[in-house]
């Protein structure tokens, strides 16, 4: 029996010893390794306040301020510390209803009962000033300062972009962000977010039992100062941007103006435009939904995202390709045979220069046929595949069918069809020139982004090369520049062929039989090319141009949706932009008033209309 009791005693001792060890281990874990209780204790006496840096400023090319900051406040809450709250008084003080209070508290508790989260965001300094002296009465609430974007002029919304609250994906992609932080959502604000945002700091404060700050913890030794964001110096000319936006008021379309010698974008307008101040502050969400629901799509950046048929402006690239391939020469003439493809009335073109001037559709039908069917193979279908492959390569040299890497997000590439495209559509060796001839005049399956159209004007202005279009000259305290924007991109086409194109485009504006006399400006040698692009509804009005002819300072592309002929609307609008930039003022006041105040665009929703002949 004694052995039996001894065994029981041993078991009991082991049980008590095990329990003791468990308690000791658990206490050690709670007191040494787990900081939860220490954190909870600290939260009763200390307050960690995020010090948000001032976001970097944005300037135009002349040093004029486009975007700056204004102080606002976020009302923060730690739900666990909210005790004995007079809800009615609190709601009256901060200006919300009881229902709003309950919803906001529930959201805060779901985030964390122990950590601070935003209760009310972006409170103006005037509103905060009216009740800041009463905030100490409400345990668990305090404010932290941040900045809000302000736009000095209501321009360039699609360029500058806007700032919004981070979502779960933003936080997951970059651990710098926490709930309630803000991030660039579009435009330069998004592209240069890492430059503009700066670095957050932290301030630790002692608080008393009444939730009032009574001093800095350890005299600020544990605080870190925020580092303000870097400034951005853009290529935009604010005066020209504002003027171009006024020209496009009440219209749908876009204007892109570039300095050919550098690739710097002088103005980028997508119409309809909107005031960037609408997407700032607590009204941002409501205004965003209104803009999103607008049938004219003001949030859609047509200059970078719309993929349009280019129409006859595309003929310039066709001519340069054919000349360089040797399938035509500068003096090649073709008859204006309207049985092949429709055209307006004019004499047959006897040269490339005349063909560009008169924008002859049959001429470029013949030209494109010589590119596609070069006679390299006896089999017409294999020959077409060879020719299309060569043509596709040349179009990409012009920047078509590929995304131009401008420093803005969500840029489209357009569409330049290749052999794989048509093989999927028609089947291998089941298509030839006769199937795809609409590409010859910028219709068919060809789609081009307006930025690419302006870049084409730059290529002709430079006689065969371009620099990547960009919107930022330099940024940050060290004036950092993006090296890729200073790399020259050559088309590989002889400069003398582009001289022919420049002369033809000069004749478009200045010579008898040209299609864009309304783009003429006294004492300024404007070179241009009209386009009238077919689509659903009234045709689109298209024009590319540069000026002066020699040593060009500006290249412009204008696209006006559902407005008709290129020479009627897009060309005169482009000429006004050119005059404004080169002279600093527009002297043709009546002419300007007509194109500024009149809306030529077919009303939405669009209906099909009989097609007109192209120019």
Give this prediction's pTM.
0.86
Asked whether the predicted pLDDT for residue 36 surpasses 60, the reply is no
Q: pLDDT band for 169, please (50, 70, 90 cuts).
A: very high
Cβ-proximal residues to 443 (8 Å cutoff; 6+ apart), any chain: 309, 311, 533, 534
- Calculate mean pLDDT across residues 112-131: 87
Sign of CA dihedral 158, 163, 166, 170: positive
Q: pLDDT band for 3, please (50, 70, 90 cuts).
A: low
Residues 135 and 266 in one domain: no
Query: CB burial class (10 A; 0-12, 13-18, 19+) of residue 517?
Result: middle
Residues 181 and 318 in one domain: no
Asked whether the predicted pLDDT for residue 612 surpasses 60, the reply is no
- Which of 195, 213, 234 delimits the end of a domain? 234
Residues 266 and 154 in one domain: no
Compute the distance between CA of residue 508 and CA of residue 356 in angstroms, rounded to an integer: 7
Residues 99 and 167 in one domain: yes
Asked whether the predicted pLDDT for residue 44 surpasses 70, the reply is no
Residues 313 and 351 in one domain: yes
Compute the distance between CA of residue 190 and CA of residue 183 in angstroms, rounded to an integer: 7
* Number of structural domains found in the chain: 2
Q: What does the pLDDT look like over 269-311, one tens digit per residue?
A: 999 999 999 999 888 889 999 999 999 999 999 999 999 999 9
Between 615 and 244, residue with greater pLDDT:
244
Residues 216 and 260 in one domain: no
Residue 25 maps to a domain: no
- Calculate mean pLDDT across residues 235-240: 98
As beta bridge partners, residue 143 has 75
Q: What does the pLDDT look like over 483-493, one tens digit per residue?
A: 999 999 999 99
Residues 195 and 274 in one domain: no
Compute the distance between CA of residue 321 and CA of residue 417 in angstroms, rounded to an integer: 16
- Which of 234, 255, 271 delimits the end of a domain? 234
Highest mean pLDDT (candidates 199-208, 415-424, 528-537): 415-424
What pLDDT is attached to residue 204?
Answer: 80
Domain hosting residue 207, numbered range: 46-234
Residues 198 and 332 in one domain: no
What pLDDT is attached to residue 40?
Answer: 43
As beta bridge partners, residue 146 has 72
- Give the CB-side neighbour count of residue 158, counting CA atoms within 13 A: 27
Q: What does the pLDDT look like over 459-490, one tens digit per residue?
A: 999 999 999 999 999 999 889 999 999 999 99
Q: What does the pLDDT look like over 589-605, one tens digit per residue?
A: 999 999 999 999 998 88
Q: pLDDT band for 37, please (50, 70, 90 cuts).
A: very low
CA dihedral 132, 137, 139, 145 (to 10 degrees): 10
Residue 17 maps to a domain: no
Residue 608 maps to a domain: no
Residue 9 maps to a domain: no
Please state whether 156 falls in left (phi above 0), alpha (psi between -120 and 50) or beta: left
Asked whether the predicted pLDDT for residue 369 surpasses 60, the reply is yes
Q: What is the CATH number of the domain that holds 426?
A: 3.40.710.10
Q: pLDDT band for 614, please (50, 70, 90 cuts).
A: very low
What pLDDT is attached to residue 18?
Answer: 76
Residues 283 and 315 in one domain: yes
Cβ-proximal residues to 346 (8 Å cutoff; 6+ apart), any chain: 336, 358, 360, 513
Q: What Rg do the C-alpha atoms of the chain give, in angstroms?
A: 33
Residues 212 and 277 in one domain: no
Residue 28 maps to a domain: no
Residue 356 maps to a domain: yes
Say whether 555 sits in a helix, a strand or coil: strand
Q: What is the CATH number of the domain that holds 197?
A: 3.90.1310.10
Residue 387's closest CA among 433, 434, 440, 318? 433
18-22, 71-75, 132-136, range with the lowest pLDDT:
18-22
Sign of CA dihedral 410, 66, 561, 260: negative
Residues 209 and 260 in one domain: no
Q: What phi and psi, each to the nearest 5 degrees, are found at residue 416? A: -115, 105
- Calculate mean pLDDT across residues 25-50: 59
What pLDDT is attached to residue 595?
Answer: 93
- Calculate mean pLDDT across residues 127-155: 89
Cβ 421 vs Cβ 446: under 8 Å: no
- Calculate mean pLDDT across residues 53-57: 94
Residues 155 and 259 in one domain: no
Residue 606 maps to a domain: no
17-21, 113-117, 505-509, range with the lowest pLDDT:
17-21
Residue 158 maps to a domain: yes
């Amino acid at each position: 029996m004694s052995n039996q009791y001894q065994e029981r005693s041993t078991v009991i001792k082991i049980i008590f010893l095990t329990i003791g060890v468990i308690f000791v281990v658990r206490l050690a874990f709670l007191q040494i390794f787990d900081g939860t209780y220490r954190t909870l204790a600290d939260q009763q006496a200390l307050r960690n306040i995020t010090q948000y840096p001032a976001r970097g400023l944005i300037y135009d090319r002349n040093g004029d301020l486009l975007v700056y900051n204004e102080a606002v406040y976020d009302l923060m809450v730690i739900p666990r510390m909210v005790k004995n709250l007079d809800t009615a008084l609190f709601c009256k003080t901060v200006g919300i209803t009881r229902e709003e209070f309950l919803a906001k508290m529930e959201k805060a508790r779901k985030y964390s009962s122990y950590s601070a989260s935003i209760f009310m965001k972006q409170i103006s300094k005037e509103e905060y000033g009216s009740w800041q002296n009463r905030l100490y009465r409400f345990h668990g609430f305090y404010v932290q300062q941040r900045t809000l974007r302000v736009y000095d002029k209501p321009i360039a919304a699609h360029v500058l972009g806007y700032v919004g609250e981070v979502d779960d994906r933003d936080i997951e992609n970059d651990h710098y962000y926490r709930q309630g932080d803000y991030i660039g959502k579009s435009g330069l604000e998004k592209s240069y977010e890492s430059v503009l945002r700066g670095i957050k700091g932290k301030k630790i404060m002692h608080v008393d039992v009444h939730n009032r700050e009574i001093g800095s913890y350890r005299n600020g030794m544990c605080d870190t100062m925020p580092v303000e964001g870097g400034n951005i110096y853009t290529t935009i000319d604010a005066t020209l941007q504002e003027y171009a936006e006024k020209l496009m008021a009440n219209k749908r379309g876009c204007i892109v103006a570039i300095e050919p010698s550098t690739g710097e974008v002088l103005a980028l307008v997508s119409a309809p435009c909107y005031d960037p101040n609408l997407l700032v502050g607590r009204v941002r969400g409501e205004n965003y939904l209104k803009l999103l629901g607008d049938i004219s799509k003001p949030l859609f950046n047509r200059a970078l995202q719309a993929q349009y048929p280019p129409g006859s402006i595309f003929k310039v690239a066709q001519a340069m390709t054919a000349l360089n391939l040797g399938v035509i020469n500068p003096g090649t003439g073709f008859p204006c045979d309207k049985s092949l493809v429709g055209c307006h009335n004019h004499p047959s073109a006897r040269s490339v220069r005349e063909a560009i001037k008169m924008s002859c559709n049959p001429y470029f039908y013949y030209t494109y046929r010589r590119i596609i069917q070069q006679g390299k193979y006896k089999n017409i279908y294999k020959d077409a595949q060879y020719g299309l492959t060569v043509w596709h390569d040349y179009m990409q040299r012009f920047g078509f069918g590929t995304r131009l890497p401008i420093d803005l997000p969500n840029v489209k590439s357009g569409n330049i069809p290749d052999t794989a495209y048509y093989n999927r559509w028609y089947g291998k060796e089941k298509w030839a020139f006769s199937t795809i001839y609409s590409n010859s005049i910028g219709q068919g399956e060809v789609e081009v982004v307006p930025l690419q159209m302006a870049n084409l004007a730059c290529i002709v202005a430079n006689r065969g090369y371009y620099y990547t279009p960009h919107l930022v000259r330099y940024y940050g305290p060290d004036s950092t520049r993006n090296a890729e924007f200073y790399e020259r991109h050559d088309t590989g086409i002889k400069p003398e062929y582009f001289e022919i194109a420049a002369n033809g485009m000069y004749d478009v504006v200045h010579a008898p039989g040209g299609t864009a006399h309304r783009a003429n400006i006294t004492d300024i040698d404007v070179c241009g090319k009209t386009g009238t692009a077919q689509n659903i509804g009234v045709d689109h009005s298209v024009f590319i141009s540069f000026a002066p002819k020699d040593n060009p300072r500006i290249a412009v592309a204008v696209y006006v949706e559902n407005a008709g002929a290129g020479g009627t609307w897009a060309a005169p609008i482009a000429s006004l932009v050119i005059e404004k930039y080169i002279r600093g003022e527009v002297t043709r006041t009546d002419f300007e008033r007509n194109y500024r105040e009149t809306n030529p665009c077919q009303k939405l929703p669009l209906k099909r209309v009989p097609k007109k002949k192209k120019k």
